[in-house]
Structure 1
């Protein structure tokens, strides 16, 4: 963090005039974000039907071959909903949904929302035991599977409770034109919609803010995934906070979306933002850095939904003709690192970066409403950033047993008060939900949600993301943020991906840094230049001592790094064929780790 990142009252007030034209949308957004009455009948279905009434002929969803307006899309969702209702899907029914990014998935989720049913959004990359676990965790009464994922589902079907009944099948094609022929024993959902009514269902008027909308799974970078509950209330808060107050798209805008539709960034943040303004959602099956700007031009996209890694992939691409004078004016997402923020904004001429902070299970969100740089933005929720003891992995309590807030600019644990206005929906497993709650925080009897993330208060209810607690380690008596080190390594010439984690060295305290790097095609790592760069860019305690060179970096379906296996192998050459490097004490360069060097490190022959 630099001093320029702090937001003083004077700096905040100076930014207000340029946002005056957005005040009506911002106020509307704050209204939706602040509704306390959880019995109120507002939902994703309400938002879609309202937008369809306001902008019936404007584009709603599109892909490479299709462009449906809001009237057509809402009618499609209604046909699906009536068909599902006839089969017994009702308010509270859980339906497992396994489709890749297709318009069919959006229509299906809209149909479920109209019925008050819950879509369990399965990660399409899961297989085997992990997929079995995720399916059984949701206890679905119905299953809707895309043709492209039937094989993965069939492999585990025998171990999934309730999956012995006929399941819905959707052909991997434009099912509006050709429903295809379902395999024996499957129900062709597209055929079931033929002849169904296109009128809005009365059921949608009974869906309340407190009702679950989606089950969204944690990425499972460690352990088995958990299913978090996204209520319609949480979706409406995103619709207001991100859609109205944050982006404020209009019905002439197109939001380009390549993020997986089983993730909150896609189905809650991006879709909610489009619906809030009557904008169109252009969906791509999978992200492609090389095709990105061609797609932007094809759709005349004005906005895109991002996560930080996608931005770095785009920066690493060579300049192409389509990026010049492109149509993008804004973007919404999270994880854009300060080290590339200005470079990205300048190179691609993006005017507004609506960075946000939120989690599928949490009760708090930040949005960069006022378009400051290097911040996750502002939150209307009641939050605090408190001291955290990394050595003992727990918040710091004072002599009276309460937590204490950190000073401005200092990192600490972000917590959010649980109240009627800011409820905590948590997970499907009550024990998991209780484990995420801190009690007796500032007074006896209060309850706060533990985000598990380190943040900085930078002033005027704005915050800056620091790191996830599991991704922070301590070395030489100092706390090291893996996110910040990854960001700096990513700026070193030739580095395409950087994954940083802490590893133990015998007879030392804490964990030192290790970085797994993937280089650009044709790039060679200069060990001495890297050591010199680390010396210049970061303090000695933060600089990685070990390097592992990877040909591929394993990530989750939402582009989060999988660090568990990397940590287990650490710098042991017997456990990997990947090149390993170490910077020994007093050296100005990195050198290979052979079995002899590894043995000396293990016997503490070197004084790190």
Structure 2
């Protein structure tokens, strides 16, 4: 994100926001009270919040998809039946249950049912297969799994490598199971049929869930090359749902949130669904995002709010102009990654009043929200944070001669650190060693502790910030965090590759960074079959993690400490004129192989002829 003088927030801009600030103060105070649940004996969390929403709006729409319309009372009772059944099967507080279902009501009802009995939903990424899926399941040692019919082939391929008994391998048919439960294949138990006759009353266990109890495991990219499981506690659900639903969006039963984001990620699950539940509002979802059907869906569900990531917004802007572009009820949108270059265009073309850009990490302890509706900012945070100087090659924060870190000046980009304290605890990962690696000690004073986000931000004044970029061993593409080490490890399994370095590169007019890998052939360039190599990668990596560009090197340069020179590789990117004779190959949209990048192909990519 480039810094522009107009992005700086001035006193004049703040003064113009005074009426909005005055109007927002009562709900901010109320929201902070609702969000700040610290009493370890106070009932709270997802199940409790949903039950409160049901009392508030029992006959209002809770979940919508296609022709399925379920009220809060229907969803709550459905989740109760599943919860009572699971409890009868021995699933209780603290038990981990893997959930492997695509975006549909059954996913959310299952998660809600597990939350009500105090179990922890391990939210498997539905794009994962093979070794990555095996790792993600075994990492959290689940006592059971719930598998959607649409993902049965992926699970069946790894079933022998995960230790979950058949009696706790539950199946959910790929249809409207509220009306038609379907039939489970041999070796699976139909969760919907098995729970059909259970009690629909709220289980007593939902009142015995407290702020420090874990609710979800949400997977993030791991620096070891495989996903890490971040712990998301019920107390954090309260903070998230109240902060976004009440403070930022002022949600009510008259609102409907339309979300096409994957619900195994925190933005879709906790921000979008959490905001809807907090306001007893409707939540409309789609299995997968469709740019051509987006606004039709918005009108169909009478949505007032949409969830987004920057890439989604770009796809919508790329659609042909239509007289219906502003014919909808959407007044506000919440998400992340909308670049300044597209901000004004999107807001103007689609007539959205409030872009509530946010910053949050499922494994972190801080969130920013654009409550005051400034342009080109992630807003402000109620938590304590600082931006510090960092080493551009290693990405590590720098310490001065006195041993402490140096804060950067206003307008300068810096590494975001979030203070860890009672107000902002760090739930961390399931692996304590991984949690320890992201905690910095003695940062500004002896004994203080900060969470290292690994992200670059810029302070633009009055507590507001801009997101700049990600550091380290992950980059973001198609709304997903990609682990460079995972990509490298996969490429090194190929018999004709001896070295591999993965990194993210920018393509003009796209969001995030596209995957690129520098590879050294085990023998020679002639031994590489680029169509076969692409097939190899596509079969073993999620689609968003498959490298779009390859750079073939005879020898990989390293630093004096034997680290690959990723900064140089990133800067030279996929321009053959910058790579010193190293041939560059690109997977062009619509093709089944990597093609050599010539000056003409480079120009076509830079001019947007090939749409990524």
Same fold (TM over 0.5): yes
Gaps of 5+ in 1: 474-481, 491-495, 506-549, 584-588, 593-608
Q: Quick one: structure 1 residues 219 and 391, their matched pair in 2 at CA, closer, same or farther if it must change by over 3 Å?
A: closer
Q: Distance in 1 between matches of 2:320 and 2:260?
A: 20
Q: 1:246 to 1:472 in 2, by over 3 A?
A: same
Deviations 1:298-322 (A, max 9, x none): 1111111111100001111112343
Tell me what 2:379 maps to.
Answer: 377
Cα distance in structure 2, aligned partners of 1:392 and 1:63: 45
Question: What is aligned with 2:255?
Answer: 253
Equivalent residue for 2:89? 87
- Specify the SS of the correspondent of 1:287: coil
| CA distance in structure 2 between the partners assigned to 1:117 and 1:557 by the alignment | 30
- Counterpart in 1 of 2:466? 464
- Within 2, Cα distance between the matches of 1:497 and 1:41? 40
Task: Give a deviation string over 1:67-108, Cα, whole Å, max 9, x none.
Answer: 111111111111111111111110001000000111011111
Corresponding residue to 1:573 among 583, 597, 600: 583
Residue in 1 that maps onto 2:416: 414
Pairs within 5 Å for 1:4-23: 4-23=6-25
After TM superposition, list the pairs within 5 Å mapping 1:520-535 onto structure 2: none
- The alpha-carbon deviation at position 440 of structure 1 amounts to 1.0
The secondary structure found in structure 2 opposite 1:261 is coil
Tell me, yes or no, if the aligned pair for 2:331 and 2:353 is still in contact at 8 Å: yes
Residues 408 and 459 of structure 1 are in contact (CA less than 8 Å); yes or no, is this contact kept in structure 2? yes
Say which of 325, 332, 335 aligns to 1:333: 335
Tell me, yes or no, if the aligned pair for 2:245 and 2:278 is still in contact at 8 Å. yes
Q: CA deviation at 1:8?
A: 3.3
| Aligned residue in 2 for 1:513 | none
Alpha carbons 1:128, 1:155 under 8 Å: kept: yes
Q: 66-75 or 127-136: which moved more?
A: 66-75
SS in 1 for 2:157: helix
Which residue does the alignment assign to 1:305?
307
Q: Could you report, residue by residue, the CA deviation over 1:361-399 in whole angstroms, capped at 9, with x for unpaired residues?
A: 000000111111101011000111111111343211111
TM-score normalised by L of structure 1: 0.81
1:1-150 superposed matches below 5 A = 1-150=3-152
Instruction: Indicate conservation of the 8 Å contact 1:219/1:557, yes or no.
Output: no
Q: Which whole-Å deviations, capped at 9, do the CAs of 1:410-439 have from their partners, x for residues lacking one?
A: 000000011111110111111111111111
Name the CA shift for 1:590/1:403 in 2 (closer, same or farther; >3 Å): same
Aligned to 1:439: 441
Query: Distance between the aligned counterparts of 2:187 and 2:220, measured in 1?
Result: 31
Q: Tell me the C-alpha RMSD between the 2 structures.
A: 3.0
Compared CA separation, residues 107 and 373, structure 1 to 2 (3 A): same
Q: Equivalent residue for 2:486?
A: none
CA contact (8 A) 1:307 1:333 kept: yes
Aligned partners of 2:33, 2:512: CA distance in 1, in Å?
41
Alpha-carbon distance between aligned partners in 1 of 2:223 and 2:65, rounded to the nearest angstrom:
30
The alignment's TM-score, normalised by the length of structure 2, stands at 0.81
Instruction: Name the counterpart of 1:454.
Output: 456
Structure 1 residue matching 2:70: 3-state secondary structure: strand
Q: 1:434 to 1:472 in 2, by over 3 A?
A: closer
Offset at residue 503 of structure 1 (A): 8.6
CA separation in 2, counterparts of 1:568 and 1:35? 54
Cα contact 2:173–2:182 (8 A) shared by 1: yes
Cα distance 1:190–1:471, how it changes in 2: closer, same or farther (>3 A)? closer
Partner SS state of residue 58, structure 2:
coil
The 1:365/1:556 distance shift into structure 2, 3 A limit, reads farther
How much does 1:275 deviate?
1.0
**Counterpart contact for 2:63–2:69, Cα < 8 Å:** yes
Residue 149 of structure 1: how far off its partner (Å): 0.9
After superposition, the C-alpha distances for 1:515-564 in whole angstroms (9 at most, x for unaligned) are xxxxxxxxxxxxxxxxxxxxxxxxxxxxxxxxxxx9xx999999966559
- 2:319 paired residue number: 317
Q: Hey, what's the Cα distance between the residues in 1 that align with 2:107 and 2:417? A: 34
Against the structure 1 CA distance between its residues 222 and 308, is the aligned structure 2 distance closer, same or farther, given a 3 Å change threshold?
farther
**Alpha carbons 2:412, 2:458 under 8 Å: kept:** yes
Q: CA deviation at 1:446?
A: 1.4
Distance 1:290 1:591 in 2: 24
Can you list the C-alpha shifts for 1:155-201, whole angstroms capped at 9, x where unaligned?
Answer: 00100123455410111111111111111221111111222111111
Provide the rounded CA distance (Å) in 2 between the counterparts of 1:425 and 1:13.
Answer: 37
Say if 2:166 and 2:187, in contact at 8 Å, map to a contact too.
Answer: no
Q: What SS does the corresponding residue of 1:415 show, helix, strand or coil?
A: strand
- State the shift of 1:567 in Å: 6.4
Match runs of 1:279-294 below 5 Å: 279-294=281-296
Q: Deviations over 1:442-465 (max 9, x none)?
A: 112211000000001112221110
Matches of 1:261 and 1:441, distance apart in 2: 35
Counterpart residue number, 2:264:
262
TM-aligned CA deviation for residue 12 of structure 1 = 2.3
Question: Equivalents in 1 of 2:246, 2:206: separation in Å?
Answer: 22
Asked whether the equivalents of residues 99 and 148 of structure 1 are also in contact (C-alpha less than 8 Å), the reply is yes
Q: Work out whether residues 257 and 266 of structure 1, in 8 Å CA contact, stay in contact via their aligned partners in 2.
A: yes
Deviation at 1:580, TM superposition (A): 1.2
Number of aligned positions between the proteins? 528
Partner of 1:169: 171
Q: Separation in 1 of the partners of 2:515 and 2:287?
A: 31
How far apart in 2 are the matches of 1:328 and 1:558? 32
- Indicate which of 223, 241, 250 corresponds to 1:239: 241
- Of stretches 210-219 and 354-363 in structure 1, the one that deviates more from structure 2 is 210-219
The answer (yes or no) to whether the contact 2:515–2:549 under 8 Å persists in 1 is: no
Q: Distance in 1 between matches of 2:248 and 2:267?
A: 14
**Does structure 2 conserve the Cα–Cα contact (< 8 Å) formed by 1:255 and 1:305?**
yes
Instruction: Confirm or deny: 8 A CA contact 2:398 2:406 kept in the other structure.
Output: yes
Unaligned runs of 5+ in 2: 476-502, 520-533, 554-573, 577-581, 587-593, 606-612
1:401 to 400, 403, 406: 403
Q: Greater CA deviation, 391-400 or 46-55?
A: 391-400
Separation in 1 of the partners of 2:473 and 2:460?
A: 22
